[in-house]
Structure 1
Amino acid sequence: MNKEFNFSPATWLPKFEPEVLDYVRNIKREDMEYTNENGYSVKVVMDPVLHLVMDMFHRIYLSDVEDKSFTMICPNSWAGSYSAIANMINKYNVNCRNVHAFAMDEWADEDGNVAPLTYGAGLGYSFRKHFYEQIREDLRPPVEQWHVFTNENKGDDVYSELIEEAGDGGADVVYSATGWPGHTAFIDPGTEAFKADSLEEYIKIGSRLVEQHPLTIAENSLFNSAGASGDVWGVPPKAVTIGPRDIVNARESVEVHSFVNPGGDSWQRMASRLQLYGPITMECPATILRLGKGTCYVSEAIARPFSAWTAGLENKDL
C-alpha cells in the first residue's frame, strides 16, 4: 500500500483484500511458472496465441487420424487465429467430421434477444465466417456441429446440455482468455445470473443470459468488433454465455494472456495476476480454471513488472 495516500477501490469492482492485491502485483518473473495439484500449469512464452493455434490444430488432426470425437469450446472473435487453423486443415486435408465446436458466448440486447448470425459484429457470425466457412467443404462437418448461441438455446442450462451431449459429459478442451473483470467467456463477477452462496454451488451453474459487468463493456469497446475506439455505447449490454459448470466439466483448458497495446500498457496484466496467483473465488471467475487440468500461456509482455507512479516519477522514466 502507498502510505502517503490510502483509499478504498470503487464499490462496483470485484472485492479483494488489500494484501491479495499487493501480493499479485509484486509477483516476480522467476516465480510465475508453476504446476498445481490439479495439473494446471502456467508457462511464460513469447507468443501465447501461437501455442493456442498449434494446440487446436493438433487436436483436430488427432480427431481425424484416430477417428475419435473431439468437442471444444472456443472464444471469439479470433478471426486471424481461426482462419490460420482452417488454412492448415485445408493444406493437410484434415477431415473435421468428428469435431463439435462451441462458441462460448454471444451478444444480446437489453431485452435478452440474441444477436443473429447476420450481425457482422456478432461472435457467432465471426465463428462461422472466419473458421467454419474457411474450411474446405469436403473437410467440414455439418454446420450443426459448429454450435452458436441463438434465441432457441439461450434458456438456462440449455447450451450446457448441448455441450455435455456432444462431449460425453463435457468438452474435451475449453480455450479462453481472461477478461478485465476476471471473467472467462461472459461469466462476470457480481452478476445476478451467476449468484451463488458458495463456490460448490457456483460451479454447478450452467449457461445463462447475463448483464455484462462495466469492465467487460469497457474491454469489448477496445476490440475490432466494436470499433477498437473505446466506444462503450457500441457494445451490447447483455450476453449469453457458457457457465462455470462448463468450465469445470471440461477435461482440459488452454488459455492465453497476451493482450498488450503497442506502448506496453495492458488492461489484462492485473486480471492475469489475480487469476493465476490470487485465491480461487467467484470474485474472479476465471480462477476456477485452476480446479482442473490445463495450461495458461502468459506472454513476456504480460509478465513484465508493474510500473506505477506512486513513488514519484523522474524525467528519465517518461
Structure 2
Amino acid sequence: MNFLSTCKGSLMESFFPQGWDLAKIDQCASGSKADFYLRQPHWHEGFQPVPCESLEQFNAYMGHEIAWTIKEARDRGEKLALILPVGPMGMYQWTVYFLKAWNVSASHVYGFNMDEWSDAEGNTLPPTNSGAFQYAMENSFYNLLGEGTIPVNQRYFATKEQLPTYAAKIAELKQDGAKLAVIYGIGRVFHIAFWEPQFAGEYGSEAEWAAQTHRIGAKLHPLTIEQNAITSFKSRTTLVPCYANTIGPGLFLQADYAIGGADGALGRGMMWQGMSLRTTLKYGPDPWIPSSYMPTLPGKLFFLEELAAPLEPELN
C-alpha cells in the first residue's frame, strides 16, 4: 500500500501546505547513504555539504567557518553583513574562540538577527527576557567577543521597528563594498528563518515570492511550533509563540555566501531533521520548499552524519 494515498480526505490533507508534492518529498527522503552525497544539477558549483561525526565537531566546524568568513572580510578591508540565526547556536562559542585566538576584531561586522518570536501584531519580548532571540544573541555571541565585539549600533534585531529597515541597510552596505553572508538552520517544514512554506500560496509568481524581504507577525505552521516545543521548550507546546517576525527570500537569496547547519538528531536513533535535510538537497528550487534554494548559493552546509543514514522506520 502507498500510505501517501491514505492522506486523501483525512485531516493530514489539509494540514500539509497546499503546494507540497508529498510523493516527491518522499522520494527525496528515500535512498541510500551513498545516494545522499550525489551532487544535484541545481547545486551551485561553490556549494558543499560537510558531514560531521558528532555534535562537538559540528559546532567547531561551523563556528570555524563563520569566524573564517569574518576574518577574510577583515583581511580584505571590507565590511561584512551577517544574517544570524538563533538555532543552531552551539557554533557561536567556537566563532568567539577562533576570533580571539587569531586576535581578529569583529568591528567591521553588521549583525542582523533573522527572526524573533512575536504576537500577531509583531510585538516582541523585551531583550532582557531569556526567551527572546536578542537575549540569546547578546549572551551567546556579542558579549563573549569582549573588546573585539560587533558595535552595539551595528546590531539589528527583528523587532517590528527594525526589521523593515534591514533591506535598505544591507543594500547600503553592499553599495559600500560589503559582502552578505547568511547563517541558517533548516526547519522541519523546510523554512529558512521563519519564512514558512505556506506563504508561497499568497504570491502569483516565483519572482514575486523571491522579492519579499520580511514579514511582521508571520503565522507559523503547526509543525514549526511542535519542532520548537521539542528543541527549545522541553516539549511544552503551550509556551511556544504562534507568530514571529522574520526575514524573507528577498534577503536570504541575496547572500554572497551561505553557512548552514543541520544538527537535528535526538539520540537513540531518533531525529527530526533527516527528511528536511534530504529534501533541501534534492528537491530543487521551489517556493513551497524555501530551504530548497540554499544549495543554489555558494557556501557550506554542515550536518550530523547520522542524518544522512537511510530514513527507514525502526523500533526503539
**TM-score with structure 1 setting the length:** 0.86
The answer on 1:2 being equivalent to 2:2 is: yes
Deviations 1:184-207 (A, max 9, x none): 100101138x82122121111111
Paired residue for 1:207, among 214, 225, 236? 214
The equivalent residue for 1:13 is 16
| Counterpart residue number, 2:84 | 74
Letter of the aligned partner of 2:171 in structure 1? Answer: E
Q: Which residue of structure 2 lines up, in the alignment, with residue 101 of structure 1?
A: 111
Bigger mean CA deviation after superposition, 277-286 or 4-13: 4-13
Q: Does 1:150 align with 2:159?
A: yes
Q: Which amino acid aligns with 2:44?
A: N
How far is the alpha carbon of 1:299 from its aligned partner? 2.0
Q: Given that residues 44 and 297 in structure 2 are in contact (C-alpha distance below 8 angstroms), is that contact kept between their aligned partners in structure 1?
A: yes
What CA distance in whole angstroms lies between the structure 1 residues aligned with 2:239 and 2:298?
A: 36
Do the aligned partners of 2:184 and 2:260 also contact (CA within 8 Å) in 1? yes
More helix by share: 2
Higher mean displacement: 44-53 or 206-215: 44-53
- Whether the 8 Å contact between 1:164 and 1:171 is mirrored in structure 2 is no
Correspondent of 2:196 among 166, 180, 188: 188
2:134 to 118, 121, 124: 124
Contact 2:117–2:243, Cα closer than 8 Å, also in 1: yes
- Which of residues 267, 277, 286 in structure 2 aligns to 1:281? 286
**Structure-2 residue corresponding to 1:59:** 69
In 1, distance between residues paired with 2:278 and 2:178?
Answer: 27
Q: Report the CA distance between 1:98 and its aligned residue.
A: 0.9
RMSD of Structure 2 on Structure 1 (CA): 2.5
Aligned-residue identity in percent: 23
Please say which of residues 180-189 and 108-117 is displaced more in the overlay: 108-117
CA distance in 1, matches of 2:251, 2:191: 14
Q: Quick one: distance in 1 between partners of 2:171 and 2:61? A: 26
How far apart are 1:7 and its partner, in Å? 3.5
| SS across alignment from 2:302 | strand
Contact 2:117 2:124 in 1 (8 A): yes
TM-score (norm 2): 0.87
Matched, 1:258 2:263: yes
Take 1:294 and 1:84, find their aligned partners in 2: how far apart are those partners? Answer: 19
Q: Deviations over 1:28-56 (max 9, x none)?
A: 21122226453233343324433211101
Long gaps (5+) in structure 1 = 310-316
Residue 117 of structure 1: how far off its partner (Å): 1.1
Deviation at 1:288, TM superposition (A): 1.7
Matching of residue 32 in structure 1 with residue 42 in structure 2: no
Q: Which has the higher contact order (CA 8 A, sep 6+)?
A: 2
| Aligned residue pair count | 304
Unpaired runs of at least 5, structure 2: none
The answer to whether residue 298 in structure 2 is matched with residue 293 in structure 1 is yes
